[in-house]
Amino acid sequence: EAGCPSDRRAAWTGGRHARGSPKRGRTGEGCNGLAATQVAAPEDERVVEQLVRNLLDCWNRRDAKAFAEAFSPSAEYVTGRGQVVIGAESISDLVRQAAPAARVSIRDTSEIDLQTHSGTVRFAWTSREANGIERNGTITCGLVRDGTRWLIDTLRNDEHQR
Helix (H) or strand (E) holding 90: helix 88-97
For 145, other C-beta atoms within 10 Å of its C-beta total 18
Q: Residues 71-127: pLDDT tens digits?
A: 999 999 999 889 999 999 999 999 898 877 678 999 887 799 999 899 999 999 998
Between 61 and 161, name the one with better pLDDT: 61
Q: Residues 10-68: pLDDT tens digits?
A: 333 333 333 333 333 333 333 333 334 455 677 899 999 999 999 999 999 999 999 99
Helix (H) or strand (E) holding 154: strand 149-160
- pTM comes to 0.74
